[in-house]
Amino acid sequence: MDWPVAIAKGWHPVASLDEISSRRPHAARLMGQPLVLFRSGDRVTVLRDRCPHRGAPLSHGRMTNGAITCPYHGWRFDSEGRCIEVPGAAVCPSVSASVLPVRVEVGLVWTCLAETPPPFPTLPDAMRDADLDRFWWRLAPSEAGLLDALENHLDPAHPHFVHPWLVRPPDRRHPVSVAVRSGEWGAEAVYFEHRRNTALLSAVMEGSRARSIGRLWPPTIGEVRLESARGAMLSIVVVFTPVDVGVTRPWAHFASTRSWLPAIVKELALKAFHWPVLQQDRRMLRLQERNRTRERYATGPLDVLARPIWQHANGLPCPEEETRLEMSL
Ligand code: FES
Ligand SMILES: [Fe+2]
């Protein structure tokens, strides 16, 4: 498959830092490529999961003293991928396992398949703001196209149909003004709601909503930010990893303004509310994926972030643009 160029060359998270240990290798997958991750001291190493000797998967091997041993003939590779031991021989050939670049950011291990890695993507401020309550929700990969999943997270038009009563009432809409901006930095749609949303999620989690924002942090990060009239804020950032064709892993990060509610109570409540929502989205993304053809999608009047998502993924110029529109949500 030809991945859109900014995705093919981009930085992607492949593991959570706390999954990586010096005791056993961790297998991961990125755009169909098997990878193996391990730790030696403070250093995290990402290798292609293929021994240069006869191609056995290194992730089936074991770790000793910060080096990984291949399960087939026992060649050992250090944290820079160099072969440091061939059992039964006094010397090692000068070969290396293929090492990929690594960045550890916001508790995730990121890597890149490009020869020359691009600059690291800008991450949403809410991921680094020390004054917020936060948690990562660890979710398994699911059957979904990468850009479909990203767009789904930022799409205001499906909740009436896919999440009736949970996110939006199915049969009632009210006018919303939307300010859309896009540029090389990404894109955002700011929704100003004039009336209170009566669906369960809004009623319980937000009180009265002042505005909500859907923001693209290119190329693969979507943030939904809900701001209440009283100044409370909930940010849901999802980083989408292209695991394979039609398989996407979401890394969901929730951050919210501190309140009298203990962080753990908020975490449990947010997970409880979002669990059914997530299942509903996964079901629709799965149906969409199984129905895929090579035809391009049509863009409708409510698909306000579709174009910048596509432009950024494909490395196309995204000139500064600003529009205002009215819709009913
Ligand atoms: S295949 Fe890895 S040591 Fe032979
Ligand atoms: Fe949804």
C-alpha–C-alpha distance, residues 276 and 205, integer Å: 15
C-alpha–C-alpha distance, residues 262 and 206, integer Å: 16
CATH of segment(s) 125-328: 3.90.380.10
Average pLDDT, the chain: 93
Q: Amino acid identity, residue 196?
A: R
- Over range 260-267, report the average pLDDT: 91
70 Cβ below 6 A of ligand 1: yes
Ligand number with the minimum distance to the CA of 279? 2
Note the pLDDT of residue 164. Answer: 87
Q: Where are the domains of the chain?
A: 5-112, 125-328
Note the pLDDT of residue 174. Answer: 87
The two counts, helices (H) then strands (E), for the chain are: 6, 20
C-alpha–C-alpha distance, residues 81 and 100, integer Å: 9
The tens digit of pLDDT for each residue in 291-324 reads: 999 898 999 999 999 999 999 999 999 999 999 9
What share of the chain in percent tops pLDDT 70?
95
Lowest mean pLDDT segment, chosen from 66-70, 158-162, 216-220: 158-162
What share of the chain in percent tops pLDDT 90?
84
The tens digit of pLDDT for each residue in 42-54 reads: 999 999 999 999 9
CATH of segment(s) 5-112: 2.102.10.10
The tens digit of pLDDT for each residue in 76-129 reads: 999 999 999 999 999 999 999 999 999 999 999 999 999 999 999 999 999 999
Question: 198 pLDDT exceeds 60?
Answer: no
Confidence of residue 209 (pLDDT cuts 50, 70, 90): low
For 59, residues 6+ apart whose C-beta sits below 8 A from its C-beta are 25, 26, 27, 34, 36, 49
Question: 200 pLDDT exceeds 60?
Answer: no
60 Cβ below 6 A of ligand 1: no
Note the pLDDT of residue 292. Answer: 92
* C-alpha 76 to ligand 1 mean position (Å): 9
C-alpha–C-alpha distance, residues 218 and 232, integer Å: 26
Confidence of residue 148 (pLDDT cuts 50, 70, 90): very high
Any idea of the CA torsion for 146, 148, 151, 155, to the nearest 10 degrees?
Answer: -150
Question: 24 pLDDT exceeds 90?
Answer: yes
Question: 210 pLDDT exceeds 90?
Answer: no
Note the pLDDT of residue 166. Answer: 80
* C-alpha 202 to ligand 1 mean position (Å): 55
On whether the CB atoms of residues 314 and 172 are closer than 8 A, the answer is no
Confidence of residue 196 (pLDDT cuts 50, 70, 90): low
Atom of ligand 1 nearest to the CA of 74: 3
Axis crossing angle, helix 146-154 with helix 306-313, rounded to the nearest 10: 150
Confidence of residue 203 (pLDDT cuts 50, 70, 90): low
Note the pLDDT of residue 327. Answer: 92
- Over range 205-214, report the average pLDDT: 73
Confidence of residue 263 (pLDDT cuts 50, 70, 90): very high
172 Cβ below 6 A of ligand 1: no
On whether the CB atoms of residues 232 and 257 are closer than 8 A, the answer is yes
Residue 179, burial from CB neighbour count under 10 angstroms (0-12, 13-18, 19+): middle
Mutate to test the pocket of ligand 1, among 60, 68, 70 (most ligand atoms within 8 A of CB): 70
- Over range 182-204, report the average pLDDT: 76
